[in-house]
A and B are shown apart, each in its own frame.
Chain A
Amino acid sequence: MSYSSILEWITFHNPMDNPFYPFGDLYNLPYDWAYKIWEFLGGLVAWLINLLFPGNVVSTWLISDQVVNVFALLLFMLIIFLVVFVGTLLSLWEERKVLGRMMDRRGTQVGLKGFLQCVADGLKTFMKENVVPKKVDKMTYMWTVSLVIGTSVLIACMIPLSDRWFVVSYDTGLLIIMALFALAPFFILVSGWAQNNKYSLIGGMRAAELMISYEIPMLILIGTVILMAGSFNISDIVHAQYDTVWYFIPQVIGMITFFWCSIAESERVPFDLAEAEAELVEGWQTEYAGMKWGLIMLADYFRGYVACAMGVILYFGGWMLPGIGDLNNAMPEIVFLLKTWLMFFMMIWVRATLARVRTDQILNIGWKIFTPLAVINLLIVVLLKFGGVF
């Protein structure tokens, strides 16, 4: 076979024309990028191989529909994760800077207005000795922490950033995310037990105690939003808000309660009982050293990001802004992330202002304040529904 131009190998198709396109009839932007990146890279490799061995099967295999789809999916995962990762690092940076200013100091100073501090921290924790205490139940010890970090990263990636930026879009999306979100306390409980350390044990118990206090009002609140929007699908909820009003207006009680519940869910001050460093050293994380600890810390911020993102989706119109019409299609992901960081700002503010509450107090707050408020909120929504307002 004669020399074939590179342009014959690198062709940019519409991924939706691929018969193996995994998202049905929904357009997916990161997948589109991943598809095009692979078509370029794979095409380049295929062209090079074809130069050396004209007419081989590998070249055609590399740019066949199936293979492009597989590699595009791998790249797609990478893109999704990187965006969430950078977004989380930005919220970490935001916390450091904003908290610093609130405490009358400067916050981090390392590179790019302090952003590169997280790189320094990552390197530092990575270089630390990986200490595993002798008497821990090693398998449980390692698995639970991996699962805590794993589920946190998984749900962070599963949050859709817009109609075109999602991993899966199906009708129970919200429920799946909430179910995975609520898993971590179980792992923390088991992990606290596995570590053979009293601080960890008390920390693990507290995580369970904390969960029974906030989980019920939180689920009632989510149910209320679902009732109002009439769908479990995140995209539908966002569009329902765009069509009517952002739900924090009819559900202002629900929004405030959800905000506090989500702080508890992401275990931040004032509800960071499980790792209360004043009395429990580092709570359930006491025995985790080095990069394990670093990843736990990162997972905390992933959870913080998820909590804020859920708040934005449920009450602040997700990635849509009212009154700007088709401009919503321009950069909905950026709008969503900005709203998330704004929400995170509120969490930082709370952290700078409040002290840590006690275990009995969080139970009291959860059962005597949050749950009734959630039920009242539900009643209001039911009345609005029956009144035909929504």
Chain B
Amino acid sequence: MPGDVYQAPTVSEIESILVKEFPSLQVTRTEARRVYATADRDSIFELCTFIHDNLNFEHCSSLSGVDRESTFQVVYHLSNYENGVMIEITSDVPSDDPRIASVASIWGGANWHEREAYELFGIVFEGHPKLERLLTPSNYEFYPFRKSYKLRGQE
């Protein structure tokens, strides 16, 4: 990935660089040490590689699956060990085609988070080394954290 490498980018730097490099990305809001952005699912792998390599975000704090009923979302929380800045990237995944690129090859720590999102929401992470069920038994055929999966009290 070309471009300058920043060891400890500030919030405003991150905002300008990301918007410049990825036109499809939108920075929704910023706070002290926090950047919130939305990104297209097709560009997510390049975006994450860029953030990891050029912006020095060594740590993937968390990766969450979300069921927004109309669509799925995958939310990345990335963190920089130099100055404590975090980026939150939200990426929409259509519910009829829940596929997105896996970032487990970029951050090893995202591996199990992706497996968890897969088993609980059914979002398929393409390129994941071992996309199997982790918390639930391997013979489950449903995705328990989807909103369509009703709990006993909700029926």
* A–B proximity contact (CB within 8 A): no
Chain B positions near chain A (C-beta within 8 angstroms): none
Chain A positions near chain B (C-beta within 8 angstroms): none
